[in-house]
Structure formats: C-alpha cells, structure tokens
Amino acid sequence: MAADIPPFNSSFAYQNTLPPNPQWTYGQKITETPEGMAWMKGEEEGWKVVDTAKEDKFKLYQLMISGIVPRPIAFVSSISESGVENLAPFSWFNMVSHNPPLVSICCSDGPQRLKDTAANIKATKSFTVNIISEPFIESANVTSVDAPEGVSEWPISALTKEKSIHVKPARVKESAFSMECELFQSIDIADPASGAHTTTMILGHVKYIHVRNDMLDERGNVDPAKFRPVGRMGDITYSRVGDGFRLTRPAWAKEQETIEKAIEGRGDE
Ligand SMILES: Cc1cc2nc3c(=O)[nH]c(=O)nc-3n(C[C@H](O)[C@H](O)[C@H](O)COP(=O)(O)O)c2cc1C
C-alpha cells in the first residue's frame, strides 16, 4: 500500500447537493459554462480507438472495467450439489426488471472450469445476492480468493450466515439488503470467433427481499446515507457513494412549449 495514501475518511457522509449546473436550460451547450469548456478542452488530445477483436484480452478487461463504472456488486451466496457453501463478489451485476423482479450476474469462466458460483447456481438453482456496505468491505473482498473447489469462503470472511426463508443458501447477516433468488435462466456465452465458452450469465428471480428497517427513509426507500453501499471501479478500486443530487425528469406534456422555444433556430448541430 502506498505510504502517501490518506487513511479512510470515516467522517465523510453522504449528502444531497444542488446539481452541477442548476441554471442549465433546454438546448444549452455544455461549453456555455467554464466547467463544460474545461471538459471539452480535454477532447483536443484526441481519441484512442480500440478494436476489440484485436486488443489483448486482459487489456480489454482492464479498459472495460475501468470505463463501465461505478458498478454495483452482488455478493453471492450459493451451495454446491454436495452441500459445499460458497460466497463471492460479482460486479457484472444489475437489476434487469421489477416485473418480474429479476437480477443478472455474469461469471467469467475460471482457468479450467466454471467458477463455483456459476456451477452451483446451474446445479442447485438458487442463490442469495447481498449488497455490500462499507463496514464489511474487507470481509467481502477476501471471498474473491481463488479457493479450490470444496473450500468455503464463509469462515475466511468471518461473516455470519443467516438462514434464508425460501432458498437453501444462507444470506449474509451483515448485509442490510439481501435478495433470495431462484435461477430464472442461465445463458452460456461463447466467443463468436472461437466458439469457446467464456462466461455464464445468470438471471435470478428475486423471491424475497430482506432490508433492515434502520436503512429505510420515511417513503420506504433505502437511504444511501445510512446504507453506505460500495461500488466497483477499475482494477482493484472500490468506490463510495458521495454527494448525490436530484434532477426532475421532464414531462413532455408540461414542457413541450418551453423546449420548442428554447431550441428554435438552434438546429441539430
Ligand atoms: C469486487 C469484485 C467483483 C468481481 N466481479 C466479478 C464478476 O462480475 N464476474 C466474475 O466472473 N468474477 C468477478 N470477480 C472475481 C470473483 O469474485 C472470483 O473469481 C471468485 O473467486 C469467484 O468465486 P467462485 O469460484 O467461488 O464462484 C470479482 C471480484 C471482486 C473482488
């Protein structure tokens, strides 16, 4: 660890601020503010264009995981057919739909075989997804160790198994938001050039959600200031959720006249 890195800032707290440019109006170019000008000035340095078919696979991985950020992390608990428990983080993760309630996770293949998580979910059809908060990120991170098949990551992490109500794999008690999932569909992904299997995409049907009461605001939403969820950036970097800001989503019916007036004569440059 580099000596010049400051310690973790534990007094940092999530807050809502105004958006970056509260005066922005329909059709306004970003170069109309000094910050926008500075942003676009960087473009004068030109572009690196990557042909994915020709790029080295590891470099492509590094570039994609640093550009597609921040990513939520699914902390997945699963069980093998013979009953070996498994716990591992996956940041190629997202919500797919709320109706039905589906989530996706993608497991790239290990060196010789499917990762245990993918093999377990294919075999036993259920898992839990637990969201990681700052207080237990080290315990969660350690479960990404490439432990041999048959070794459970639970004791290494010292995290607590909490019995699920619907599926066999436990949920993580330290997580303030957990989902009990049944396998909805698994999709095998192959390299189109070689035909070799590379990745398994898992769609999970969320059957039960467990959310800690103390995380909820008065509207029943999870409050980011209390939740302190951890995201994944590039390389081995994690992110915290810092300032948030709210922007209303414009409704055409209400805004049409203002929008049309604002962009009149501006054209589609
Ligand atoms: C924060 C984080 C996110 C990760 N995301 C993924 C991912 O989305 N897909 C993947 O295949 N591996 C991912 N990994 C690596 C797996 O966690 C790692 O390969 C783990 O050993 C897999 O465990 P398993 O073989 O027990 O399933 C990630 C690792 C970390 C630390």
What confidence tens digit (pLDDT) does each residue in 189-230 have? Answer: 999 999 999 999 999 999 999 999 999 999 999 999 999 999
- Can you spell out the DSSP letters for 90-154? ESSEEEEEETTEEEEEEEE--SSS--HHHHHHHHH-EEEEE--BGGGHHHHHGGGS-PPTT--SH
What confidence tens digit (pLDDT) does each residue in 107-156 have? Answer: 999 888 899 999 999 999 999 999 999 999 999 999 999 888 788 899 99
Among protein residues, the one whose CA lies closest to atom 24 of ligand 1: 116
How far, in Å, from the CA of 144 to the mean position of ligand 1? 5
What confidence tens digit (pLDDT) does each residue in 39-98 have? Answer: 999 999 999 999 999 999 999 999 999 999 999 999 999 999 999 999 999 999 999 999
Q: How confident is the model at residue 1 (pLDDT cuts 50, 70, 90)?
A: low
Asked if 162 contacts 170 with a C-beta cutoff of 8 angstroms, the reply is yes
Q: Which ligand 1 atom lies nearest to the CA of residue 120?
A: 27
What pLDDT does 247 receive?
95
What pLDDT does 111 receive?
83
CATH superfamily of 57-242: Electron Transport, Fmn-binding Protein; Chain A (2.30.110.10)
Among protein residues, the one whose CA lies closest to atom 4 of ligand 1: 90
Q: How confident is the model at residue 2 (pLDDT cuts 50, 70, 90)?
A: low
What pLDDT does 239 receive?
97
